[in-house]
Amino acid sequence: MRGFSREEYQRRCQSVQVNMQDCGIDVLWLSTEADVRYLTGFLTQFWQSPTRPWYLLLPQSGMPVAVIPAIGEPCMQRTWVEDIRTWTSPYPDDDGVSLLVDTVIDLAGQDATIGLPMGPETHMRCPLADLERIRRHLGNARWEDATSLIRQVRQIKSAAEIDKLRHVCAIASRTFADVPLFARAGMSEMDVFRAFKIACLQHGADDVAYLVGAARAGGYDDIISPPGDHVLVDGDVLILDTGCTFDGYFADFDRNYAINRVEVATASAHQRTWDATEAGLASIKPGVTCSTVFTAMHRVLAPGRGGASLVGRLGHGLGIQLTETPSITELDQTVLMPGMVMTLEPGFSYAPGRVMVHEENVVVTDDGYELLSVRARRDIPVIV
Amino acid sequence: MRGFSREEYQRRCQSVQVNMQDCGIDVLWLSTEADVRYLTGFLTQFWQSPTRPWYLLLPQSGMPVAVIPAIGEPCMQRTWVEDIRTWTSPYPDDDGVSLLVDTVIDLAGQDATIGLPMGPETHMRCPLADLERIRRHLGNARWEDATSLIRQVRQIKSAAEIDKLRHVCAIASRTFADVPLFARAGMSEMDVFRAFKIACLQHGADDVAYLVGAARAGGYDDIISPPGDHVLVDGDVLILDTGCTFDGYFADFDRNYAINRVEVATASAHQRTWDATEAGLASIKPGVTCSTVFTAMHRVLAPGRGGASLVGRLGHGLGIQLTETPSITELDQTVLMPGMVMTLEPGFSYAPGRVMVHEENVVVTDDGYELLSVRARRDIPVIV
């Protein structure tokens, strides 16, 4: 259940390498947790420490090469990567710079075309001064944006990845089902959040890396804040939106609850987002664009009205990051393909200062979709 | 207990602004969770999502200006920041680029000298292509490295920050004291980790953002990996190293335990790291360099020997990140000052494949130090 086969990593690297050949990229330089882990299986919370850079080089053929601080060598040795080059870090005068340069030259020569992620939703986890230094040292190299060639591969999940996502979504579903057992009027938001995290761990999550939400009279206005000391009272609407993880894969969906009673406007807003999700689900099959799924949901949310929501989209990709490409927006023309795992997340403002957001996780199949989250009921649950 | 006063944020910004004036920097451009939160109080786990960039601009005088996606506006409105400029994100064609450029020009003109972090332990959380675009749009601007001018301010913790760090270290200390109550032979590493996380939440932590460790016969070799399915047996040495958080502030220390019995070499290695910590503690006072503290500990660990450890340092700064500057290394000449919060983390390899690491958290005071973690005992605890 944990980890992946060597063949899985080989397939991932080879898929990226086919794209590199098409684009004439000799070597790919990656630096973030998600990209490095995707191609190697290097799984550690040590990325929390900003001190040390971690690099991976993928040549156009053959295996990836890790260029990492020595503290990570035993952990990297457990992956399928064989060529691991280390330096003792932190060493501010040369924190991997010359080792990276030497390794690039080893793999692809002085005149290499080097790909790195430069586009939307990416960044280089590398000090800017080091990036400049590396560019100077590799003065004859060409630098190309490799965002889309990685993204195309990461977007399509393998059967083994889908198993993990199915598993973590089931853990989140079981935890949400428990909320009426532990949340009640008189508890503070913080107490509810703490109980949720503990329940999530007890149900088998490795971590609860993301839990946001709020409880407010009649509805909430902010869906990214940590819990406050507000004490739940009758008439509150509680939203919990979790990104818990299992073996490095995220669930990401929310659930709404009313405390003891529910206003008509709130009940109706919940039904509206549920209906929008239903319309989105009905539109999902291979060959359809994200824009089409957006339109299906947006029509239900805001009949006759255009305009973007606060959230800016009605869903997104899901996998080793809480949010991945593509986005379910009016403009995103990404075509859905089997193996893409998505959240549908319709939301709208139904009164001043009151937002309703509803979310489910699905995988695109050969002829439609499979729900990964246990579908919410159309009526907002009332906790009494 | 939660949050900080408006005066605290004012003081932080003004301290950075004094440094900006000294360096001739007109406006500072920040993009990471830690830097943005330090100057604003913007606290959210939404940074888990890589999709949207978040920017903060600090002019040479006056208040900071947030340039952020609309989804974050309600959360930012709860901070002391008044000037919040938003766009609907994700919008890959212009994800904050023109809004950032316009705001820089508003604050400091076309010819501004713009500071951003470029040095060790930093990165810009901004797509490289956007960074290039912004540089092109601001063709007359000068770009300067602002790493040290932020670092100098962040390194010295206020009394209110120290209160939070004292509190979260107390939570971690209570959790470590519980380990002999729940860990025993027959449990898997994963079960121990899960029980630790739950105990940590029950003791009042908001999150356990970091928990690494291992259990192995006679000693462990890897201190950054997640737990595996190894089942604890007699003679194992268990290390748990946590970075739990309270209100966005980290504790970061570890504890070692022996299961039922302990080999002489292991017991002695534990005493050695404890003695090294004791020597490090004795050396701490304002005016002393990190290098001096390193030498005090290194002498005990490896009498007569030089050379760097796998970890690359024997401690580091601590605060809103799991690891902050400075580093306790031979080369780091940073001078300790009252209010600096540090980990002392001596470690060494005492046999092939066997590492011992011991860690405590301290704050530098006017005449020495105050322990934030409850000091471990010199003898490794044996769980029977």
Q: Are residues B174 and B232 in the same domain?
A: yes
Q: Hey, CA dihedral for B30, B31, B35, B41, is it positive or negative?
A: positive
pLDDT tens digits for range A51-72: 999 999 999 999 999 999 999 9
Is residue B282 one of the residues assigned to a domain?
yes
Phi-psi region of A204 (alpha: psi -120 to 50; beta: other; left: phi over 0): left
The better pLDDT of the pair B304, A190 is held by A190
State the DSSP string of A239-283. Answer: EEEEEEEETTEE--EEEEEEES---HHHHHHHHHHHHHHHHHHHH
Same domain flag for A141 and A215: no
Measured in whole angstroms, the distance separating CA B342 from the mean position of its chain's CA atoms is 10
Rounded Cα gap, residues B373 and A162, in angstroms: 42
Do residue B128 and residue B181 come from a single domain? Answer: no
A90 touches B: beta carbon within 8 Å: yes
Q: In sequence order, which residues have a C-beta less than 8 Å from that of residue B172 and are 6 or more positions away? A: B200, B205, B242, B244, B251, B253, B373
Nearest to A125, CA basis, from A243, A245, A30, A202: A30
Dump pLDDT digits (tens) for A220-249. 888 888 999 999 999 999 999 999 999 999
Do residues A148 and A199 both lie within one domain?
no
Which pLDDT tens digit goes with each residue over B34-92? 999 999 999 999 999 999 999 999 999 999 999 999 999 999 999 999 999 999 999 99
Compute the distance between CA of residue B295 and CA of residue B314 in angstroms, rounded to an integer.
10
Residue B216: phi and psi, rounded to 5, are: -145, 155
Q: Nearest chain B Cα to A144, which residue?
A: B129
Contact A308 B88 (CB under 8 A): yes
- In DSSP notation, A105-133 reads HHHH-TT-EEEE--STT----S-HHHHHH
A126 in B contact zone (CB under 8 Å): yes
Q: Any idea what the CATH number is for the domain that residue A123 is in?
A: 3.40.350.10
Looking at chain A from residue 311 to 350, which residues have their Cβ under 8 Å from any Cβ of chain B? 311-313, 316, 321-323, 327, 329, 331
Residues 192 through 251 of chain B touching chain A, CB cutoff 8 Å: 194, 197-198, 201-202, 206-212, 221-226, 228-229, 243
- Regions of chain B with pLDDT less than 70: 303-310
Judged by CB atoms closer than 8 Å, whether chains meet at B74 and A120 is answered as no
Domain membership of residue A1 (yes or no) is no
Q: What is the mean pLDDT of residues A280-289?
A: 98
Structural domain includes residue B104: yes
Q: Per the CB < 8 Å rule, is B71 touching A310?
A: yes
How far apart are alpha carbons A286 and A303 in whole angstroms?
26
A71 touches chain B (CB under 8 A): yes
Shortest CB distance from A127 goes to which of B70, B71, B122? B122
Pair B125, B31: CB distance under 8 Å:
yes
How many folded domains does chain B comprise?
Answer: 2
B8 contact A CB<8A:
no
CA–CA separation, B32 and A370 (whole Å): 36
Final residue in a domain of this structure, among B134, B155, B176: B155
A314 token code pair = 């009605």
A contact residues 169-188, partner B, Cβ 8 Å cutoff: none
Q: Are A250 and A320 in contact (CB under 8 A)?
A: yes
| H, E, C per residue of B80-97 | CCCEEEEECCCCCCCCCH
Q: pLDDT tens digits, residue range B252-286? A: 999 999 999 999 999 999 999 999 999 999 999 99
Residues 131-150, chain B: which have Cβ within 8 Å of A? Answer: 132, 145
A94 interfacial to chain B (CB closer than 8 Å): no
pLDDT at B330: 94
pLDDT given at position A273: 97
Do residues B311 and B323 both lie within one domain? yes
Q: Report the C-alpha gap between B139 and B333 in whole angstroms.
A: 37
CB contact under 8 A, A329 and B90: yes
Residue A304: predicted pLDDT: 57
Distance CA A175, CA B207 (A): 17
Q: Which of residues 247-286 of B touch A (CB under 8 A)?
A: none
| Cross-chain residue pair A51–B316, CB shorter than 8 Å | yes
Residues A209 and A350 in one domain: yes
- Cite the DSSP H helix spans in chain B: 6-23, 33-40, 73-77, 97-108, 128-137, 147-155, 159-182, 189-202, 264-283, 290-301
Q: Is the model's pLDDT at A305 over the cut of 70?
A: no
Domain that holds residue A25: 6-155
Residues A11 and A93 in one domain: yes
pLDDT at B1: 81
B253, B303: one domain: yes
Same structural domain, B76 and B194: no
Structure tokens at B271: 């005493």
Average pLDDT over residues A83-99: 96
The residue type of B97 is: V
Provide the shortest C-alpha distance from residue B328 to chain A (in Å). Answer: 10
Average pLDDT over chain A reads 96
Confidence band of A302 (pLDDT split at 50, 70, 90):
confident
Mean pLDDT (whole number) for A367-371: 98
Measure CB to CB from residue B226 to each of A44, A73, A91 and give the nearest one: A44
Q: Is the pLDDT of residue A311 over 80?
A: no
Whether A332 is in a domain gets the answer: yes
Q: Considering only CB atoms, which chain A residues are within 8 Å of B210?
A: 45-46, 48
Residue type, A109: G
ipTM over 0.90: yes
Domain end residue (candidates: A118, A140, A155): A155
- Measure the CA–CA gap between A127 and A37, rounded to whole angstroms: 20
Distance in angstroms (rounded) separating the CA atoms of residues B1 and B6: 14
- Are residue A243 and residue A286 in the same domain, yes or no? yes
> Is residue A234 one of the residues assigned to a domain?
yes
- 3-state SS, residue B378: coil
What is the DSSP secondary structure assignment for residue B185, as one 8-state letter? T
Rounded Cα gap, residues A314 and A330, in angstroms: 9
B376 interfacial to chain A (CB closer than 8 Å): no
A18: Cβ contacts below 8 Å, ≥ 6 apart: none
The rounded distance, in Å, linking the Cα atoms of B96 and B79 is: 21
A107 close contact with B: CB closer than 8 A: no
A-B Cβ pairs (cutoff 8 Å, strict) = 210
Q: Which of A307, A244, A312, A360 is closest to B52 using CA atoms?
A: A312
Q: What is the DSSP string of B91-138?
A: -TTSSSHHHHHHHHHHHH-TT-EEEE--STT----S-HHHHHHHHHHT
Helix A128-137 with A97-108: angle, nearest 10 deg: 40
Q: Compute the distance between CA of residue B91 and CA of residue A120 in angstroms, rounded to an integer.
A: 9
pLDDT value at residue A16: 98
Same domain, B164 and B284: yes
Q: Which of B123, B155, B187 is the last residue of a domain?
A: B155
Q: What is the DSSP string of A202-249?
A: HTT-SEEEEEEEEEEET-BS-SSPPP-SPBP-TTEEEEEEEEEEETTE
Chain B interface test: which of A31, A42, A71 (most B C-beta within 10 Å): A71
Question: Residue A295: inside a domain, yes or no?
Answer: yes
B1 belongs to a structural domain: no
Can you give the CATH number for the domain in which B274 is found? 3.90.230.10
* CB atoms A212 and B308 under 8 Å: no
**B54, B225, B321: which to substitute to probe chain A, counting the most A Cβ within 10 Å?**
B225
Residue type at A65 in one-letter notation: V
Q: Which residues pair with A356 in a beta bridge?
A: A348
Q: Does A122 sit within 8 Å of B128, measured CB to CB? A: yes
pLDDT for residue B225: 87
B122 to chain A: which residues are within 8 Å by CB?
50, 127-128
**Domain annotation covers residue B55:** yes
Residues B41 and B181 in one domain: no
Specify whether the backbone of B204 is left (phi greater than 0), alpha (psi in -120 to 50) or beta: left
Residue A92, min C-alpha distance to chain B (Å):
6
Q: What is the mean pLDDT of residues A5-9?
A: 98
What backbone torsions phi and psi does residue B4 show, to the nearest 5 degrees? -135, 160
